[in-house]
Amino acid sequence: MAKRKLIFDVDTGSDDALALMSALLSENEFEVLGVCTVSGNRDVDNTTENTLRVIELLHKEHIPVIKGASRPLIAKLDYTRHINQQLETVDENGEIISYHAEYLPLPAAKIKPLEKVHAASWYIQTLLNSEEKITLVLTGPLTNFALAYRTAPEILDHIAEIVIMGGGKNQTNSTSASEFNIFFDPEAAFITLSVGSKVPLTMMMLDATHQAYLTYEDAARLRKLNNAIGEFAAVETESRIKAYNLLQPLGKKDIAPIHDALCVMYLLDPTVITKKEFLHVDVVCGGIANGQTLIDNRRASQAIKNVHVCYSTDSDKFREMLVSILEKSNYLH
């Protein structure tokens, strides 16, 4: 199978970093054309710097990083738009524990993002000029894609498929109704999901990504690589385990969901997802349920289907796939 061309859009971000690394290490399967950045986990200046650090860690300096939106399309309309998710805490040793450090624990980047071009413009020029259809992997708030699509809807003709991390049915994190990427920019999510009736759009929602995790055992295996990639991946896994234990305990202790990496594992092997349905999905914009993804799974629904909704993951398969790919770093030239 010919290499699939990918465009990433990230708010790096510990799990964005591992997702991007896994795609960059899958050189026989993917050609990463560029990585767009957006505000989300951290401000876009931080997510851009963090993405540049990951690109340098993998020695992929030829891949452009393109800075994107610093704010959601329609921000802070009312009180419900202020995130009330506890994003960091202090452990018994006084150590700050968070899902995403301000800066990833990697050397400051020497390379710079593309100059004088915004991610939304870059999407348009790259997609419209591409002979081959491109796959979009969107693992942060969807502001950049929404801007690009509203500006030049004809980009859809150049998109093979879109895979997003976002949403939830029985699982939430930002509020009792919403998942972070959607909550951060609900209008952009509404616009993005609307294209799912025209191009294949798959949603890795929390119900599936909470089952896409790594463990301390996986971190130990990564550390055995004795290289910077293995050490970084191990450190990020361990810090995410601590963050989940303290901030968002899930059904199992000592696990770190690597939400964004599930998008890449799915592209490599769709059987990592054990339940997926093509349904109609709406996004609530504003009000107390702001950012909620409303999944219409009524059998008699007449609503236009727009999203391949992923409900569950083969956790063991996910772990083995992600760690095995990161172990390829031993052969990185």
13 part of the interface to ligand RIB, by CB under 6 A: yes
Which of 16, 179, 187, 238 contacts Ca ion by CB under 5 A? 16
Q: Exposed/middle/buried for 219, CB within 10 Å: 0-12, 13-18, 19+?
A: buried
259 part of the interface to ligand RIB, by CB under 6 A: yes
Q: How far is the CB of 333 from ligand RIB (least distance, A)?
A: 29
| Residues touching Ca ion, count (CB under 5 A) | 6
Which of 9, 49, 179, 327 contacts ligand RIB by CB under 6 A? 179
Using the contact rule CB under 5 A, the part of the chain among 16-24, 44-52, 199-207, 301-309 near Ca ion is 16-24
Using the contact rule CB under 5 A, the part of the chain among 193-201, 237-245, 252-260, 301-309 near Ca ion is 252-260
47 part of the interface to ligand RIB, by CB under 6 A: no
Q: How far is the CB of 332 from Ca ion (least distance, A)?
A: 24
- Count the neighbouring beta carbons within 10 Å of the beta carbon of residue 27: 14
Which of 20, 30, 40, 137 contacts ligand RIB by CB under 6 A? 40
Instruction: Let me know the angle formed at the C-alpha of 244 by 240 and 246, rounded to the nearest 5 degrees.
Output: 115
Q: Exposed/middle/buried for 264, CB within 10 Å: 0-12, 13-18, 19+?
A: buried
Task: Name the token pair of 307.
Answer: 């999203």
Q: How far is the CB of 2 from ligand RIB (least distance, A)?
A: 28
Nearest to 22 by CA among 262, 333, 311, 238: 262
218 part of the interface to Ca ion, by CB under 5 A: no
49 part of the interface to ligand RIB, by CB under 6 A: no
Using the contact rule CB under 6 A, the part of the chain among 10-18, 50-58, 89-97, 107-115 near ligand RIB is 10-18
Strands 4-10 and 30-37: parallel
Q: How far is the CB of 97 from ligand RIB (least distance, A)?
A: 16
Q: How far is the CB of 208 from ligand RIB (least distance, A)?
A: 12
Residue 254 annotated among the catalytic residues of the structure: no
- The Cα diameter of the chain in Å comes to 56
Nearest to 35 by CA among 61, 2, 1: 61
Strands 4-10 and 88-90: unpaired
Cα of first residue to Cα of last residue in the chain, in angstroms, is 23
CB nearer to Ca ion: give 156 or 250.
Answer: 250
165 part of the interface to ligand RIB, by CB under 6 A: yes
181 part of the interface to ligand RIB, by CB under 6 A: yes
CB nearer to ligand RIB: give 26 or 41.
Answer: 41
Handedness of CA 295, 299, 304, 306 (dihedral sign): positive
Which of 30, 180, 232, 244 contacts ligand RIB by CB under 6 A? 180
| Residues touching ligand RIB, count (CB under 6 A) | 15
Q: Give me the numbers of helices (H) and strands (E) for the chain, helices first please.
A: 11, 13
Q: How far is the CB of 260 from Ca ion (least distance, A)?
A: 5
Nearest to 211 by CA among 162, 164, 168, 250: 250
Q: Give CA–CA dist 282/36, Å, rounded.
A: 25
173 part of the interface to ligand RIB, by CB under 6 A: yes
Place of tokens 């690597």: 258
Which of 7, 8, 13, 46 contacts Ca ion by CB under 5 A? 13
Active site amino acids: 11
What residues make contact with Ca ion under the rule CB under 5 A? 11, 13, 16, 139-140, 260
